[in-house]
Each structure stands twice: as C-alpha cells, then as structure tokens.
Amino acid sequence: MTAIEIAVGDAAISFEADRVGALRQLGFRLRTPEEPRIDRGPFPPEAFPLAYPAWGQDVSQPPAFRLSSHDGRQTCYPELAGYEHSGDEHRIRLADEQLALTVDVCLRVHPAEGVLEQWAEIRHDQPGAVTLHAAAAATPMLHAPTPWLTRFDSDWAAEWSAVAAPVPVGTTTIQSLGAVRPGLQACPFFSLAPDGPATEDTGTVLAGSLAWGGGIRLSFERRIAQPAQLRVRCGQQPASYVLDPGVVFVTPHMFWAWSADGTRPLTHRLHRFVRRHVIRDGQRVRPIVFNTWEATFFAFDQARLERMMAGAAHLGAEMFLLDDGWFGTEFPRADDHAGLGDWEADPAKLPAGLPGLTSAADRHGLRFGLWVEPEMVNPASQLYRSHPDWVVSEPARPRREERHQLVLDLCRPQVREFVTGTIDRILAGAPGISYLKWDANRDISEPGSDELPADRQQNLWTDTVRARWQVMAAVADRWPDTELMLCASGGGRTDLGTLRWFHEVWLSDNTDAATRLRMQWHASQFLPPQVIAAHVTRWGGQDLAFACAVAMSARFGFDLDPATLSPDERAACRRAATIYREVRDLVQLGDEFRLIAPDAPGSEGRAALAFNAPAARRAVLFGYQLAAGNGGSTATCPVPWAAEDLVYRIRQVTLTSEDEIVTERAGASLLSEGITWPLTAERTAVLWLFNG
C-alpha cells in the first residue's frame, strides 16, 4: 500500500504498512516547502519504527498496547486492515484476526488552528472479556538529535513549576495518580524542542497535552543505540481495563501542535484552539469575580456578605462568588469537618437562603456565583447517614478520610443522579445564580465500587473519570447560561478533557503575586488568559497594587475583605478594575506576547508580557519589576507586534497614581528601539495602553 500522510499546519505524520502488514511510522515532524511530503526514500518500511507497537510485535520496548485474551493469550500481531478518511478525521484500522480484535489509530486535524488530535479505539469479539494492561493514546517517534523537554511539575500551591532540561538517554516520565486531582502532581502539558532549546520566536517546538481527568503517564524514551530517536508515549494511568466483547475502549485524546519559529506561534495556535474547541463560550469576555474564601473562610452570615457585596461593587467587581461554608442544616458547615453532601443553605448563617443572597447581589448590581463540591461527602452529613454505601471504598478496609471527607462513587447511576439533581435543585431554587465554582478536594484511596463486579474493580480508575465527565456534560447541557469554574484544591484539574464543560480554571491556591506571575506565565503557553482565574488576595501581606497588576494579565478578580482596605489600597483596586474593563477584551481574546521571562538571564528582575488585537490596532503591555534592579540603566522592553506604518498613542499608567504619561511613537521606532523601562523597585508594575 502507499503511505498515509496526515498533514496539519506546517507539520505532518505519516504511516505505511510493512511486508507483514504491521503499521510503521515514517515521520512526525515539520515539513519544509521544498519537501512537501514525508517519504521513506530508498528504505523499506521495516526500517521505520512500529507506529502503535503491540505486545509480541516488539518485546524490546514497552508496548503501546498490551492485553490478556479471555483464554490467557498475550501475543498480538495487529495488521493494517483499512484506512478511512472523512472530513478532518482519519481512522487507520489494525486487526488481529486470531484475537478477533481491532485497534483503530484515530487522528483528527484542526487545520484552522494547526492542531492534531490523536487517540485509539480498541474492540474485540472474543467469547469472554479481555484485560487491557496498556492502551496508549499516542506513541509517536520523533527525530530529536538534542531534545529539550519543558515539563510542569506540581504540588498543592506549587502548580505549573516549570523544569526545562535536555532529555537524557533512558526514560523520562511525567506522571500522576489519584484520579481526582492529578494536576497537583503534574500538569498534562509539555513542550519538546527536538533540536535543543527554543525561544519565544526561534527554534522547532512541539507542544503536547493529554486530555484526561485522571492519572496520566507521559514518557520520553531515548535508546542508547539510537539516541536521536525519541519515542513519546502518552496515556492514562492506571490503564488496566476489563473489556467486554463488542464494547469500544476509547483512550484519552492527545493534542499536538508544531512550530518552526519558537513557542509564540504555538501559544497563538493553542489559544485559538482552546477558545474554539475546548472551553465554553470561548469568544465571550469574562466578568470581574469577587470571591469570599480568602476573606472569610467559613466565618460569615448574611449581614457580613451583604457588607462585602457593597464593598465588592464599589471596587468594580461584577460577580459575587460565595465560596465554601454556606450549607448544612443538621450538620452545618462551620469548618471542613461536616456538611459536604447536604446542599441546603445553613439557616443560621443564611436565614433567607440562597434567594436572599441572589436578590441582595442584584440590589448591589452584582451577578451571583456559588461554590460546590458535589463529588464529595463528609461522614458527618445527612447524606452519608442515609447512603453510607455511596462512597468509593473496599469491603473490610477503613475508609481513609482526607480533609475529613470521602469520594462519592460516580460509577453508581443513583450517585450521578444525585449530583446532577443537586445542581438542578440549587440553580432552579435560586435563579439568580449564574456561576458555579466546582471544587474537589481529595483523591481516591481504597478504589472499590459496589457497582462493578469483583473482576472489574480495576475499571474504576477509568470509569470514574468517564462518569464524572458524564455528570459535568449533563450540567453544562442543562444550564447553558451558567458559567463554570473548574477547581480541585487549586489547579488539580487543568486538562483539556475536563475543561470542555467549563469556562475557566482556578490555577492555584497560591496567590502570592510573584509566584502567580510565574505560574500564569507557564500556563499561558497553552491556555488563553481568559481561562486563568487570578484573584487578588492578602497572601503573605503582599502589596495589593502589584498583585492587581499581575491578576490583570489573566481573568481578573478579588478575594479579600473590602472592609480591611486602606484608602490607597482601595484606590489601587478600583483603578485596576476600571483599567481592566478597558483592556480585558485584549487580555482575554488578544494575541499574547511573552516578552521578558521572569528569571531569564539578563532580565534584571523584570518580566513583561503583552496582548495585541491587530484588527483593532490596540494592545496592552504589562511590565513587572519582580526584584529590585535595573537602577539608572536604559533598559527597554521590546514591542514586536508594532506595525511599521502606524503611529501609536501610548498611555503609560500605574495603579498607584492617577497620573498618566501619554506619548506618540511611530511603529517603526517601537520595533527598532522598544519602549523605555521605567521601573526599578521590587514588586512594582506598569501598564502601557497602545492605540494605533
């Protein structure tokens, strides 16, 4: 057969069957205009790596795919059995007739954004169930002579901690477990530069992300004998699954995007892709959110909330979000020991219930949002008293509590109905609620479900993610006008699979502005700032003007008690909200330019990023001085998006003073000279607003 080439943007992946029908991958890389197709030249297909190696085809490396048949056989020889191409979707069918098994290697191209989506579908017709031990979403082989990997390790309050390093010979892995908050161990995003480190605008880079809401394993394998070949193996973890005849096992989907010119074009592609194909209402700007958590924790009542609403409205917030602590009647949520599962307003704190709060918010000109953690239960709750069997647990094992709570078993249909029914009841009972923060604060231990037979308990790791997505999809479908924030002890869920039902993500509980700037910087390589909720808090007694300036480069909001603000702090917060309203279409929907990376050699404590809307000839540039430096120098910041033939009116503003410096600059001079950097003191910020 002839080779199958699947092209997207300026990259392509191609396959061809060898003499025995095994699928080989010829290449996965950028194509140059002079070399429009990937072909194998004079070499036979056998000279190329297996595309989706099954156990038996090659036992010298971990398989993409491994199973035990119903009769115990393990060897699998899938052969090319067909290729279908319809619209943007390609399906390469591999079959092992002896095992009555098909494996479809599936690819979808997104030509407008230059993104390739890849996954596998596995099905069999054996007389009994087979057990899958491995089933990768994708296992491409790259030609990577000097590979550099940028990965984002995580922990609570330390999400998106970037590590960039050469990939050593051997196996490097990015992995997470726990099924609920995998993003607290590792972000499912990476970038790989096959020819050595790339910059924002130079070098070849491949971005990858596994869209899965449970544990993941991404491995990067270089063999001693062939160090220029890099196998990237991407899939869920654990992957074991008992699969009945006739049922299709669909792996998580993997997303890829290539760039020949550094990470900036990748960012632009991925932002467009996430807005159009992942998040909800991706073309709409988001409100300024005022959250209560850091200000009150569990200590509030109607009167305090109403005072905060008045303060929030005065600051310029648009959405009042009531966080944890509002529910529980018999087991009131006075702290984190009780109440989860009992989603009735606590009458002691909120005598007029949720409608009393939505109407108060309305009086203050604010929309109203509410926190829920619907997948969890405290043993101290009416729900647990009535349904102790509804939790993930194993017989005769203690139910280990974390944050005094247990995980509800979403594999049970009654539990899924309970969760969707609860959200229906909350939203129908107080129609003024137009935003939900959906939280999840522990992982799964004792992974057992009464819903699954004894020989299928291992399926829980996969089924629980699918069941959760089913519930989230139902909520998004029934409540299309309710905005949803995705949260799991901070950024425990930041995957492109779960985000499909949401508008934004709470990136981290760490809101120290300098740390947050670095996290936002890294996350914004993949996620548009509109998705990245950033709230100004009193974390560490920080300077609020600086914290506002950092939060304004993402989806801006507050999480503090307005009653505690000094006059200067209040003025800075109000000014931030006013300016944010002016520039938020740029920040949330514009093209992002990361200009001076925090901690980059030669940055002298500076960091800068900008958002440009070329059609509107408008841009906003954020400058941050993270550490004192740059004293008396003539440092500048580049303005690479400037159009040569335009003259820009530039307003230089800060949040600490009403004064503005207004200048006019020709695009050509901005391009060649940049803009003069005015900051020297630690934790100070400046904004430039450009009109062409």
Contact (CB, 8 A) for 137 and 235: yes
Q: Is 16 in the site for ligand DGJ (CB under 6 A)?
A: no
Report the distance separating Cα 321 and Cα 658, nearest Å.
Answer: 29
Residue 645 burial (CB count, 10 A) = 9
Side chain identity, residue 263: T
In the complex, least distance from residue 341 CB atom to ligand DGJ, rounded to whole angstroms: 14
Locus of tokens 């059995």: 81
Q: What does the DSSP 8-state code read for residue 6?
A: E
Pick the closer one to ligand DGJ by CB: 184 or 309: 184
Report the distance separating Cα 369 and Cα 503, nearest Å.
Answer: 13
Q: Is the dihedral of CA 82, 85, 91, 92 positive or negative?
A: positive
Site for ligand DGJ in 354-373 (CB under 6 A): 371
Pick the closer one to ligand DGJ by CB: 7 or 157: 157
In the complex, least distance from residue 563 CB atom to ligand DGJ, rounded to whole angstroms: 21
Q: Is 221 in the site for ligand DGJ (CB under 6 A)?
A: no
x/- track of binding to ligand DGJ for residues 622-641 (CB under 6 A): --------------------
Q: State the burial class of residue 200 (Cβ atoms within 10 Å of its Cβ: 0-12, 13-18, 19+).
A: buried
Closest CA to 681 of 652, 656, 651: 656
In the complex, least distance from residue 476 CB atom to ligand DGJ, rounded to whole angstroms: 20
Site for ligand DGJ in 259-318 (CB under 6 A): 293
Pick the closer one to ligand DGJ by CB: 323 or 344: 323
Q: How many residues bind ligand DGJ (CB under 6 A)?
A: 11
In the complex, least distance from residue 373 CB atom to ligand DGJ, rounded to whole angstroms: 7
Pick the closer one to ligand DGJ by CB: 184 or 205: 184
Q: Which of 16, 117, 221, 324 binds ligand DGJ (CB under 6 A)?
A: 324
Report the distance separating Cα 267 and Cα 415, nearest Å.
Answer: 39
Site for ligand DGJ in 439-498 (CB under 6 A): 439, 441, 487, 489-490
Closest CA to 369 of 157, 557, 596, 143: 557
In the complex, least distance from residue 534 CB atom to ligand DGJ, rounded to whole angstroms: 12
Strands 79-86, 65-68: pairing is: unpaired
In the complex, least distance from residue 570 CB atom to ligand DGJ, rounded to whole angstroms: 24
Strand partners, 195: 146
In the complex, least distance from residue 325 CB atom to ligand DGJ, rounded to whole angstroms: 8
In the complex, least distance from residue 382 CB atom to ligand DGJ, rounded to whole angstroms: 19
SS3 328: coil
Q: Is 106 in the site for ligand DGJ (CB under 6 A)?
A: no
**Which residues neighbour 269 within 8 Å (Cβ) at sequence distance 6 or greater?**
9, 113, 114, 115, 257, 259
* In the complex, residue closest to ligand DGJ by CB: 324
Q: Which of 5, 200, 323, 463 binds ligand DGJ (CB under 6 A)?
A: 323
Site for ligand DGJ in 370-389 (CB under 6 A): 371
- Tokens matching residue 429: 């009972």
CA dihedral 83, 495, 66, 459 (to 10 degrees): -120
Q: What does the DSSP 8-state code read for residue 252?
A: P
Pick the closer one to ligand DGJ by CB: 45 or 325: 325
In the complex, least distance from residue 491 CB atom to ligand DGJ, rounded to whole angstroms: 8
x/- track of binding to ligand DGJ for residues 503-532 (CB under 6 A): ---x--x-----------------------
Report the distance separating Cα 392 and Cα 395, nearest Å.
Answer: 10
Contact (CB, 8 A) for 493 and 523: no
Pick the closer one to ligand DGJ by CB: 258 or 438: 438
* Contact residues: ligand DGJ, CB under 6 A: 293, 323-324, 371, 439, 441, 487, 489-490, 506, 509
